[in-house]
């Protein structure tokens, strides 16, 4: 194991142990705690209400459905209401990602659709000491090693991956090196619209190693794939504040239209799919305080840096892991990912980031079991 790998694992274990044993002392002394832990399931009602523009011909909308059944998330049900002339659940033909499609008549004066998904979540954690061989469908792993439109695996991506992982002999060491390189080299750029386009070659050649979560976690995924480690993005939305008082790591349940967040995971044979989120480390470094913190050892940053290599907090709901998404029935081309409501009419595809003019609202409410 490389030095950076040993350092990361030791730091993670130390912080997790201290945080669970002495949270009162840590808080009293002013140190920060960020230590996701396996706890009881939480249940959220995730509500998306969309009001497409009227008077512009026949209209279609597509809303992503929380589509993962895992040991950290499960969907109870999806239900919807509105005045669409047709609603149906459809899937992206390549990935199988599910979405609700609604069609509105050209003369509908006030089109509207509300989707409510009831989803259970909990913190996602890993025990690095438990080496238990895991199994996965070979087709799933092949897909997690393939390039996509925004994730080429040749050229500058391959060159960078080889440089980062030189000397690493195991997949864990490769992943650790890539995670550390992104946190040490890249930075979050708040001016990037939405979650960023996810163009990882551009991050390496045009943006100064800057971007947002779809760019930075997307880069992590691309570098892992180029290094021979299966990896994928996980697209979702934050639905509640962080339990550890990090304002940048939570959402405001009453207004989640801008709370979309892309995470990542890698396949490691002794552990299965493992959570990763270097982009959130960079978000805390750049935006948790007014000043830009560039020291990973800073007491505000270190717990997050350690924990997000293998863990994440359950205040977030995943939609899918799909890329190059086809919207069934759409006249436009594929999307790099499906994390926002989508729509189109005779004027073309709506701007997914214009939640006010496109007019959609996303909220969440935590409900009893």
Asked if residues 324 and 218 have their Cβ atoms less than 8 Å apart, the reply is no
- Output the pLDDT for position 30: 53
d(CA 300, CA 109): 51
d(CA 123, CA 313): 5
Which H or E run includes 303?
helix 302-307
- Output the pLDDT for position 56: 87
- Output the pLDDT for position 368: 78
* Residue 246 CB burial class (10 angstroms; 0-12, 13-18, ≥19): buried
The percent of residues above 70 in pLDDT, for the chain, comes to 91
Query: How confident is the model over 9-68, as pLDDT tens digits?
Result: 444 444 444 344 434 434 434 568 999 999 899 999 999 999 998 888 999 999 999 989
Reduced to 3 DSSP states, what percent helix, strand and coil does the chain have, rounded to the nearest 5? 25, 30, 45
All structural domains of the chain = 3-39+124-319 (3.10.620.30), 47-121+328-367 (2.60.40)
- Output the pLDDT for position 297: 96
Close Cβ partners of 25 (under 8 Å, ≥ 6 residues apart): none
Query: How confident is the model over 284-313, as pLDDT tens digits?
Result: 999 999 999 999 999 999 999 999 999 999
Name the residue with tokens 């045009």: 206
- Output the pLDDT for position 134: 86
Residue ranges of the chain with per-residue pLDDT less than 70: 1-31, 369
């Amino acid at each position: 194991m490389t030095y950076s790998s040993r350092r990361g694992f030791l730091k993670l274990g130390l912080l997790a142990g201290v945080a669970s044993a002495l949270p009162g002392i840590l808080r009293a002394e002013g140190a920060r705690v960020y230590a996701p832990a396996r706890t009881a399931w939480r249940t959220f009602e995730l509500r998306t209400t969309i009001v497409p523009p009227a008077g512009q011909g026949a209209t279609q909308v597509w809303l992503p459905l929380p589509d993962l059944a895992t040991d950290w998330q499960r969907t109870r049900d999806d239900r919807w209401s509105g005045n669409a002339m047709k609603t149906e659940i459809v899937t992206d033909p390549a990935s199988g990602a599910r979405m609700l499609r609604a069609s509105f008549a050209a003369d509908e004066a006030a089109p509207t659709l509300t989707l409510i998904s009831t989803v259970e979540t909990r913190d996602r954690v890993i025990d690095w000491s438990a080496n238990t061989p895991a199994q996965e469908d070979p087709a799933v792993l092949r897909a997690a090693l393939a390039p996509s439109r925004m994730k080429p695996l040749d050229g500058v991506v391959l060159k960078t991956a080889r440089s980062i992982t030189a000397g690493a002999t195991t997949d864990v060491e490769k992943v650790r090196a890539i995670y550390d390189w992104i946190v040490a080299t890249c930075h979050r750029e708040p001016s990037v619209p939405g979650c960023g386009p996810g163009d990882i070659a551009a991050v390496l050649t045009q943006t100064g190693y800057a971007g947002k979560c779809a760019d930075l976690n997307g880069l992590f995924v691309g570098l892992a794939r180029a290094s021979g480690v299966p990896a994928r993005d996980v697209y979702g939305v934050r639905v509640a504040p962080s339990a550890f008082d990090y304002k940048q790591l939570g959402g405001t349940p009453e207004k989640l239209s801008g709370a979309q967040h892309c995470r990542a995971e890698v396949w490691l044979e002794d552990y299965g799919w493992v959570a990763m989120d270097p982009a959130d480390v960079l978000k805390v470094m750049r935006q948790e305080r007014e000043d830009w913190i560039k020291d990973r050892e800073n007491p505000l940053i270190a717990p997050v840096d350690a924990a997000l290599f293998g863990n994440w907090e359950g205040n977030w709901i995943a939609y899918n892991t799909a890329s190059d998404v086809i919207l069934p029935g759409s006249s436009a081309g594929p999307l790099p990912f499906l994390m926002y409501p989508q729509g189109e009419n005779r004027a073309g595809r709506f701007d997914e980031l214009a939640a006010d003019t496109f007019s959609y609202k996303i909220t969440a409410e935590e409900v009893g079991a």
